[in-house]
Structure 1
């Protein structure tokens, strides 16, 4: 059983990541720092997720008294990265691409602890049924997925009505691969 020896900071404003850590039984505080999330164009999707998670972790590297968890989630389809949509039309375009196909979700996670950063990523393949244009409009109008990579949340209507199946971790698609995170936390804390 993981028993943290240092206070945990979650460096994320994502309510889904916060909920997942709470469900893991962990006590933590939330601290945010402004980080430039740009990345080199040559990186693959999993490399991008880890690169950005590490950038976020480096902002906390001087804080050796805490265990800091950072993460970044990337949605990719046929090699194209789908970020967070800026407006309705962009969300509609992204969801139309996901309709009737499969895509990958990568979450990079970094743990900054005692002056070192440990990073890893997880991958989940998500299969979606064909969506009608009015379903896409309904989803965007009612769920406002503008803070979500790929324009959707697996824990809401989209996951319940549009996702046919997944291969890999469900929590990874939510934004934090809890199974792998728990393993790494245990390894760092020596449990």
Structure 2
């Protein structure tokens, strides 16, 4: 999908403002030679200060992008493009980030058990002269699991660094998800179709995404 702008992307210094191995894997799948640079942005924004969950995840992603962009500029390594993302899970009006420990992970999964919820991923494309913001959402159904199954999953350690305390991309976490409505990669943390569309538009190749 990026082939029409591949020659442009290859000439750019692209930074992925993340320490997430899942997001790094996804940009690698696209053939982007992005440099991994985890942000030190303090993710302490209050969702109550925003009108929607989409605004909240976009603001958090923008905080990550801005921190990395400014830090690299000060180091004399000005990037052409910084890509940042933030993913959260919402069960009705309750927003769930990464659990702080196994107890919170267990609590989150018990709340999600047998229910539909929504995954939000906000993405920022920050260039020298412009910034693009967007959010993709995907509905996810967490299947019915026993307390023993949930506890065994938590004990595996897989949920502890993931929003909503589960990872759909791992065989351990994905086994609990019978169906979704939307982009699978939104749940993994980087919606690939929308990202590619926005990158094409960002560099002047117009798509139907407008």
Which structure is higher in strand share? Answer: 1
Cross-structure match for 1:172: 186
**Count of residue correspondences:** 190
Cross-structure match for 1:42: 49
Cross-structure match for 2:208: none
Cross-structure match for 1:57: 65
TM-score between the two structures when normalised by the length of structure 2: 0.86
Which stretch of structure 1 is more off in the superposition, 68-77 or 40-49?
40-49
Contact (CA 8 Å) 1:78, 1:103: kept in 2 or not? yes
Which stretch of structure 1 is more off in the superposition, 10-19 or 60-69?
60-69
Superposed displacement of residue 61, structure 1: 4.4
SS at structure 2 position matched to 1:163: coil
**Of 170, 173, 183, which aligns to 1:158?**
173
Contact (CA 8 Å) 1:100, 1:131: kept in 2 or not? yes
Cross-structure match for 1:76: 90
TM-score between the two structures when normalised by the length of structure 1: 0.94
Please show how residues 1-191 of structure 1 align to structure 2 within 5 Å. 1=3, 2-3=5-6, 4=9, 5-40=11-46, 41-43=48-50, 44-62=52-70, 63=73, 65-156=79-170, 157-159=172-174, 161-191=175-205
Which structure is higher in helix share? Answer: 2
Q: Which residues of structure 2 form unaligned runs of 5+?
A: 206-210
**CA RMSD, 1 decimal:** 1.4
Show CA shifts across 1:99-155 (max 9, x none): 110000000000111232111010000012111000001111124311101000001
Which stretch of structure 1 is more off in the superposition, 40-49 or 102-111?
40-49
Which stretch of structure 1 is more off in the superposition, 79-88 or 27-36?
27-36
Superposed displacement of residue 93, structure 1: 0.4
Show CA shifts across 1:41-79 (max 9, x none): 232221111110111122244545421100000100011
Task: Measure, in 2, the Cα distance between the counterparts of 1:65 and 1:26.
Answer: 14
Q: Which residues of structure 1 form unaligned runs of 5+?
A: none
Contact (CA 8 Å) 2:39, 2:65: kept in 1 or not? no
Contact (CA 8 Å) 1:57, 1:117: kept in 2 or not? no
Q: Which has the higher contact order (CA 8 A, sep 6+)?
A: 1
